[in-house]
Amino acid sequence: MEFTTSLSNRFARLGASLAICLLVTVTTVAFAPVGEAGASTQSATMDGVTATFTYSGTYPESSNPHLTITREGTLLYSGLVKSVWCGDVCWPNTISSRVSVVHVVRFQSGGPFDVVLDLYSGGAHCCSIEQVYSLGATSTKVVKTERNFGDPGVRLEEIGPGGVTYFVSADDHFAYAFTDFAASGLPIQILSFADGTFTNVTRRFPALIKADATGWLQAYHAQASTHYQDSVGVIAAWVADEYMLGESGVANNFLAAQLKAGHLHSALSPIDPSGAGFVTALQHFLVKHGYVK
C-alpha cells in the first residue's frame, strides 16, 4: 500500500470546492535534458521498470523537477516535469507524507506497469496533482495524463485481488457546499485509471464506503455535546455514502428524524434554522453529482 497525501484525518475535512479538480489533460511527452546534478533523488522499481525523480532544494523552495523512466535498462523518458496547474515549478508532494513521491504501479490486472508522480501546486486549499506516465507493453511511447485532486489529496492503494492500484480520495464538491470549509464533510471517492481516463468506481467497494459512512455518523453524533451547532457538513457526507450503498431510504428517514429534532444546522444558513432548506438542497446536490442513480 502506497500513500501520497494522507486522508487519515478525515474529520479535518481537507477539501475545497474547485471545478478545476474535475479537469483531466492528456499529453504525449518527449525527451528533454536531464536535471542538474546534486538534486534530491527518489526512485521506484517494479518488474524491470525504474522511475527516478530528482529536484533541487526542499519544500517550499524546491525547483527543477525532473523524471527519468527506463525499462530493462532502456531509456523511455527523460524530461522536466511540467503541469497545466503549476507549470515547471511543481513541488514534490511531500508535505504530509514521508514516502516516495514516485511510484511504479499496475492499474489493470495483467497490464503493464505505469509510473505515477505526486506533485503539489502550492497555494491555500490546493492542490494535489497526480501525473500518470503510461507505458505500453512493447511500445517505447510514453503518454502523460494528469488530474488535479484538489485539497483532499489522494492515496494509491491496491484494493482487492490482482495487485491493481486505485486512487483513493474524497469528493471535493462537498467542501463549502452546505457550511464553511472546516465543518464540511467529504465522502470517500475511489477512481480507477485505464486508457488515459480516470473513472469513479467507488460503488465497487461497499466495505470501504461503509467504513467511511461509519466515521461520518460518529462525527455527527459527537456534535450532540455542542447541540449540533454546525452539523450539516458531516451528515451530508454520511448521506452520500448511504446513497452509494443503496440505502437512500435509511438516509432519508434519518434526515427526517433529525430535522424534526432540530439537529440540522449550518453556520452559513441562519435564515433557515429548521434545516428544511438543507434537506432540499442536499437532495438536489446528490442528483447533480451522480449519487442518485
Taking only the tens place, the pLDDT of each residue in 94-127 is 754 557 899 999 999 888 899 999 998 877 767 8
Whether 2 maps to a domain, the answer reads no
Average pLDDT over residues 2-10: 33
Whether 171 maps to a domain, the answer reads yes
Structural domain of 215: 208-288
Amino acid letter at 77?
Answer: Y
Are 177 and 184 spatial neighbours (Cβ–Cβ below 8 Å)? yes
213 and 261 share one domain? yes
Residue 135 has pLDDT above 60, yes or no: yes
Taking only the tens place, the pLDDT of each residue in 144-174 is 999 999 888 899 999 987 889 999 999 999 9
160 and 29 share one domain? yes
Q: At 28, is the pLDDT very low, low, confident or very high (cuts 50, 70, 90)?
A: very low
Whether 1 maps to a domain, the answer reads no
pTM (predicted TM-score): 0.84
Whether 57 maps to a domain, the answer reads yes
193 and 73 share one domain? yes
175 and 241 share one domain? no
Domain count, the chain: 2
Residue 268 has pLDDT above 80, yes or no: no
Taking only the tens place, the pLDDT of each residue in 188-228 is 999 999 999 999 999 999 999 999 999 999 999 999 999 99
Q: Across the strands, what pairs with 68?
A: 52, 78
Query: Domain boundary at 204, 222, 253, which?
Result: 204
pLDDT score recorded for residue 272: 65
- Looking only at the bridges linking them, the beta strands covering 91-92 and 74-80 are unpaired
Phi and psi at residue 64, to the nearest 5°: 55, 50
Q: At 139, is the pLDDT very low, low, confident or very high (cuts 50, 70, 90)?
A: confident
65 and 155 share one domain? yes
